[in-house]
A and B are shown apart, each in its own frame.
Chain A
């Protein structure tokens, strides 16, 4: 029986392979001396399943409409120059692959959101290893499921001094499910990666930097997984809103430094996991508003202005095994958030002791300082930062706590900084 199924399997594979060959179709070559000298021509002539192979050269083209399942393949640095005339490629068919092209020059168009590649209500589209330069929107997917956006470089312009409305998003997805966005490098747009109503998708290994507004921006996008991404030096950091069931792991948020910048801004995010991320040199590491049932663990908060700003509208969030080092304020709040748990974190400002040598401090640590509360309540008092009085006030409050919220307390702070690679044992023990 087992043998039979194995044979059937091999047979099936062979048949499938044969079919695949048939479906692969013919290859239409595009170059200066080929049958086809323009991409538009070749696309028009191609039949479903064909491959359009562009063999180098610069093509001044726009308004290429792909209305059948094709593979558009660029070789030898083929360039499609939109010349600021309009959209370059519009995909109106399923199962299209666009690979290895350089697309450039899309005009800022306030009315129609022109993009280098736009996919309209289709599925199984693969956009791979393209370079997209100087565009309004880079890759724009609407109502398209099961798409892959992988290995693309979308690079805009220098955004300093530009207006938000004059820029589009590098990768923009709207109502798309099961998307796979990985290994892309995006920069110089309004938002690096923008997702709205995008469900069950995976966003992995991307680098988003120097965007005017957010490195990553999503709303109403449930069940997504974000891993190993880097969001660096974006105007306002990363903002995520109105979403449930997300996982953010091993991401790096760094250098989002400015009066209104955040490493990660969470607004109405629930039932999610934020784990093993690094927050370095952000004005605010994590800003949390109305976010509940979050599991925030094993993150590194290093040299941020505020590591965590936990507004009182947040409930039932757990902070465990995080490292807090070199932050101006560890945790600040505007009221008394309830039912949040801080446990087994490492705080570099902690000066308790550990008599029983179990690597857990014997006296609790209060991460909220009196001054940070004062600043939340009376913002102008921030001008007294680093003054003698403030230091004195904080130290007195530390000895005799009376104003800072009773509930924000780490009963078992760690004595030593967590080293996540080596301290797996410790983690298990504490668990």
Chain B
């Protein structure tokens, strides 16, 4: 298994896309930290970009990678290796290389310019989001054999989590505004890893004071070690559910 991971990992690292991704994140982060002056503000701007681009790049890259290495996987399947092992190695190889790029591109400057608990949360959130969206990409890829269709599904998934879901929740909040919705909002944000990550970081920044009663409620739940553990546990669940279900589909299907 390690051997396959290593192979996938080196294969990806050699590609120009990964270098470009790392450089993009690196330049962006350094630029933001040098522009604002205030590290808190830079982390806030960074959060916006991380939550938009990281899922998009992760999901698109992972899907295309999956389809491109289809032949390699076929070759491996012909060997006496367990299918789930092949699949998990592919997953870990892609996810680790993408989060490695993220840690290098964002983590290094954050450590240099704005090392704080919030920065750490931002990093952790970014890594989790990468793992989650690679898992979702693999799920999209095993659902269909058509590459175009697979990428289409992957993009739709990204679109759903980045935009549509928030729209639906805002719509619900607006139409049921006569009811106390604080707890419902809490539950609904837990159903979107992007929102969850955003809130974990936001609650640790100054702007949390603007969030009034709802913010205070969130803070009372997510402010403790237990709450943070719960939030990251939820994110972990968001990795496990898609990757385990896609592994199941992959190991059972006719290649």
Please report the C-alpha to C-alpha distance between residue A389 and residue B48 in the assembled complex, in whole angstroms: 11
**B207 close to A380 (CB less than 8 A):** no
Q: Is A401 an interface residue, CB under 8 A from the partner?
A: no
Q: Is A10 an interface residue, CB under 8 A from the partner?
A: no
- Contacting residue for A378 out of B44, B52, B173, B189, CB 8 A: B173
Q: Output the residue of A374, A385, A390 with the most chain B CB within 10 A.
A: A385
Q: Decide: A259 near B211, CB < 8 A? Known: A383-B189, A388-B163.
A: yes
User: Which chain A residues lie closer than 8 Å to B184 at the CB level?
Assistant: 380
Q: Decide: A258 near B210, CB < 8 A? Known: A374-B170, A386-B198, A388-B163.
A: no
B residues contacting the other copy or chain, number (CB 8 A): 35
**A383 close to B211 (CB less than 8 A):** yes
Please report the C-alpha to C-alpha distance between residue A284 and residue B44 in the assembled complex, in whole angstroms: 20
Please report the C-alpha to C-alpha distance between residue A380 and residue B214 in the assembled complex, in whole angstroms: 6
User: Which chain A residues lie closer than 8 Å to B52 at the CB level?
Assistant: 388
User: Which chain B residues lie closer than 8 Å to A381 at the CB level?
Assistant: 170, 173-174, 185
Binary contact readout B27-68 vs A (1 if CB under 8 angstroms, 0 otherwise): 000000000000000001001100110000000000000000
User: Which chain B residues lie closer than 8 Å to A386 at the CB level?
Assistant: 44, 47-48, 198, 202, 207
- Contacting residue for A379 out of B44, B166, B209, B213, CB 8 A: B213
Q: Which of B149-190 contact A (CB under 8 A)?
A: 162-163, 166-167, 169-170, 173-174, 177, 181-182, 184-185, 189
**A383 close to B218 (CB less than 8 A):** yes
* Interface of B, helix, strand, loop or mixed by DSSP: helix
Please report the C-alpha to C-alpha distance between residue A378 and residue B167 in the assembled complex, in whole angstroms: 14
**A392 close to B163 (CB less than 8 A):** yes
Q: How many A-B residue pairs have CB under 8 A?
A: 85
Please report the C-alpha to C-alpha distance between residue A383 and residue B214 in the assembled complex, in whole angstroms: 7
**A380 close to B181 (CB less than 8 A):** yes
Binary contact readout B192-206 vs A (1 if CB under 8 angstroms, 0 otherwise): 001100110010001
- A: contact size bracket: 20 to 34
**A374 close to B174 (CB less than 8 A):** yes
Q: Is A396 an interface residue, CB under 8 A from the partner?
A: no
User: Which chain B residues lie closer than 8 Å to A389 at the CB level?
Assistant: 162-163, 166-167, 170
Q: Is A115 an interface residue, CB under 8 A from the partner?
A: no
Whose C-beta in chain B lies nearest to the C-beta of A282?
B209
Q: Is B143 an interface residue, CB under 8 A from the partner?
A: no
Q: Is A430 an interface residue, CB under 8 A from the partner?
A: no
Q: Decide: A382 near B212, CB < 8 A? Known: A374-B174, A388-B162, A388-B163.
A: yes
Q: Decide: A384 near B210, CB < 8 A? Known: A259-B215, A374-B174, A378-B177.
A: no
CB distance from B185 to the nearest CB of A (A): 4
Whose C-beta in chain B lies nearest to the C-beta of A261?
B209
Q: Is A32 an interface residue, CB under 8 A from the partner?
A: no
Q: Which of A235-281 contact B (CB under 8 A)?
A: 257-259, 261
CB distance from A306 to the nearest CB of B (A): 7
Q: Is A283 an interface residue, CB under 8 A from the partner?
A: yes
User: Which chain B residues lie closer than 8 Å to A377 at the CB level?
Assistant: 174, 177
User: Which chain A residues lie closer than 8 Å to B189 at the CB level?
Assistant: 383
Q: Decide: A257 near B206, CB < 8 A? Known: A383-B214, A385-B211.
A: yes
User: Which chain A residues lie closer than 8 Å to B221 at the CB level?
Assistant: none
Q: Is B216 an interface residue, CB under 8 A from the partner?
A: yes
User: Which chain B residues lie closer than 8 Å to A379 at the CB level?
Assistant: 212-214
Q: Output the residue of A328, A381, A382, A383 with the most chain B CB within 10 A.
A: A383
CB distance from B106 to the nearest CB of A (A): 17
User: Which chain A residues lie closer than 8 Å to B207 at the CB level?
Assistant: 305, 328, 385-386
Further contacts, 13 of them, CB under 8 A, given A379-B214, A388-B48 = A257-B209, A259-B211, A378-B181, A379-B212, A379-B213, A380-B182, A380-B184, A380-B214, A384-B170, A386-B47, A388-B166, A389-B163, A390-B166
18 A-B Cβ contacts within 8 A? A374-B170, A374-B174, A377-B174, A378-B173, A378-B174, A380-B181, A380-B184, A380-B214, A381-B170, A383-B185, A383-B211, A384-B169, A386-B202, A386-B207, A387-B51, A388-B48, A388-B51, A389-B166
Which of A's residues lie within 8 Å of B, judged by CB? 257-259, 261, 283, 305-306, 328, 374, 377-392
Which are the 9 A-B pairs with shortest beta-carbon distances? Answer: A305-B210, A389-B166, A380-B185, A378-B177, A380-B214, A380-B181, A382-B211, A378-B173, A283-B209
Which of B's residues lie within 8 Å of A, judged by CB? 44, 47-48, 51-52, 162-163, 166-167, 169-170, 173-174, 177, 181-182, 184-185, 189, 194-195, 198-199, 202, 206-207, 209-216, 218
